Amino acid sequence: MINGRFLSQPLSGVQRYAIQICLALKELGVNVQIVAPKSAASHPLAGVFKPTFTGKTSGHLWEQTELVAYLRRHKSPPLLNLCNTAPLFYSNQVVTFHDLAFMRCPKWFSKKFQLLYRFLIPQLAKRSRHILTVSEFSKSEIIQLLHQSPSKISVVRNAATDLGALGSTNEQKFNFQSQDYILALSSINPRKNLATLLDAHAQLIQRHKIPLVIVGEAARSYANCNDINSAMQNCNIIHIPRVDDDELASLYKKAKLFVYPSLYEGFGLPPLEALYYGCLPLVSDIPPHREVCQDQAIYFDPLSAEDLLKGFEKGLNTASNVAAMKKYARSFSWIASARSLVRTIEQLNINPQIKEKA
């Protein structure tokens, strides 16, 4: 069974991972049995996944109580969790940790979030049958910070995919013109390092009249970001809190550059999505970005606005090899990741139903 709490949550990179893995498992002919709270019934993919709905609550309470009660009523089958959290008092499960940012940089997060995750995640790591993560970097973090054996951890990577029909009119809606903006996709929080981005763009705008489009909104789990929200009121900044997948695909496709200045990531999916649409990414020089983007991106020191400014200048004056970027992005595959997941479950010998059809 699969923990379907993600179908009741707002869409972010973690939920997109869970959705795409489940879609790929279905495409492979794997029996995907998802158990979800009733609040997930309105999810656009509820009709595709046909989850079993149970319980009267939602969120952590549902996951820790009503999901467990359902599993125990059904002979405690193996449970696959794809979005960081899982039932604490249920050992017959596999958990997925996307990153350990809350341990590396606790000051970025709210006190409530810190306390919950600092208690929950180490306990889940100890009690679960196996751990999945999304990159070799995150695997090394789990080994070091959660003191887990390398043999208990498997890497099942993210991938980029077609987000929707290209040619959306979203740019016209926001008065954009083709390739006249730099795109950033980021929730509004300290981890995403938007202060450095805004500083560098303020210098860039004096030389190139090219606006910065930031797509994303604040998340409750992070510390207060009022200073960033205030700085984004600049007339050269276009802030769009939320877009649908069609609009995001079109924004990637028509942007001049994509910039991702994160201080910490487990994988960093948006730069790979930018490459998928042939948009050159500028990314912070941190290990997971090097692992994922390799030689297909321009790197900059995330602590230096001046270095990012140089990256902007280089990107604006570089003739991008669009074909090479797209080919590289397509070397990552949700189907390949789902197959890797199936192999891992088979080797654990905990769920004979998880098997790809011939």
Summarised one tens digit per residue, pLDDT across range 131-177 is: 999 999 999 999 999 999 999 999 999 999 998 743 444 444 555 55
What DSSP letter does each residue of 79-138 carry, written as one string? EE--SS---TT--SEEEE----HHHH-GGGB-HHHHHHHHHHHHHHHHHSSEEEESSHHH
User: Same domain, yes or no, for 322 and 180?
Assistant: yes
User: CA-CA distances (angstroms) from residue 252 to 38, 70, 174, 180, 285?
Assistant: 34, 42, 14, 12, 21
**355 in a domain, yes or no?**
no
- Residues 322, 342, single domain; the answer is no
Tally of CB atoms within 10 A around 226: 9
pLDDT at 202: 94
Q: Which of 40, 32, 47, 38 is nearest to 15 (CA)?
A: 40
Q: Is residue 164 one of the residues assigned to a domain? A: no
208 is written with which tokens? 């190139």
Per the domain annotation, does 284 fall within a domain? Answer: yes
Most confident of 46-55, 157-166, 177-186, 209-218: 46-55
Give yes or no: residues 201 and 217 share one domain.
yes
Q: What is the mean pLDDT of the chain?
A: 90
Question: In percent, how much of the chain has pLDDT > 70?
Answer: 88
Query: Does one domain contain both 175 and 324?
Result: yes
CA 148 – CA 142 distance, rounded (Å): 6
Does the structure show a pLDDT above 90 at 341? yes
- Identify whether 45 is part of a domain: yes
As a whole number of Å, the end-to-end CA separation of the chain is 21
Decide: 260 and 215 in contact? Cβ < 8 Å: no
Residue 219 pLDDT greater than 80, yes or no:
no
Please report whether residue 212 resides in a domain.
Answer: yes
Residue 275 has pLDDT above 70, yes or no: yes
Indicate whether 357 belongs to any domain. no
Q: What is the CATH number of the domain that holds 198?
A: 3.40.50.2000
Pairwise CA distance, residues 282 & 280, whole Å: 7
pTM of the model: 0.90
What is the pLDDT, as a whole number, of residue 58?
Answer: 95
Task: Confirm if 114 and 102 have CB atoms less than 8 A apart.
Answer: yes
Query: Are 20 and 33 within one domain?
Result: yes
The answer to whether residue 356 is domain-embedded is no
- DSSP class of 51: P
Give the pLDDT score at 281: 98
Of 26-40, 175-189, 318-332, least confident by mean pLDDT is: 175-189
User: What confidence tens digit (pLDDT) does each residue in 291-305 have?
Assistant: 999 999 999 999 999
Taking residues 33-43, report their average pLDDT. 97
Does residue 50 sit in the same domain as residue 186? no
- H helices present in the chain, as ranges: 13-27, 46-49, 59-61, 67-73, 101-104, 111-127, 136-145, 170-173, 194-204, 226-231, 245-254, 269-276, 287-293, 305-316, 322-329, 334-348
Q: Are residues 66 and 194 in the same domain?
A: no
Residues 13 and 139 occupy one common structural domain: yes
pLDDT beyond 70 at 235: no
Same domain membership, residue 134 and residue 197: no
Given the DSSP bridges, would you call strands 153-155 and 34-36 parallel, antiparallel or unpaired? unpaired
How far apart CA 338 and CA 156 sit, in angstroms, is: 8
- Which residue range is the domain that position 14 belongs to? 2-159+333-348
- Whether the Cβ atoms of residue 332 and residue 158 lie closer than 8 Å to each other: yes
Q: Are residues 247 and 194 in the same domain?
A: yes
Is position 30 within any domain?
A: yes
3-state helix, strand, coil in the chain (%, to 5): 45, 15, 40
Q: How many residues belong to the chain? A: 358
Judge if 89 and 212 occupy the same domain. no
**Contact predicate 162/246, CB 8 Å:** no
Q: What is the mean pLDDT of residues 108-129?
A: 95
Nearest Cα residue to 162 out of 266, 299, 31, 23: 23
**57-80 tens-digit pLDDT:** 999 999 999 999 999 999 999 999
Total number of domains constituting the chain: 2
| Same domain, yes or no: 50 and 14 | yes
pLDDT of residue 170: 45
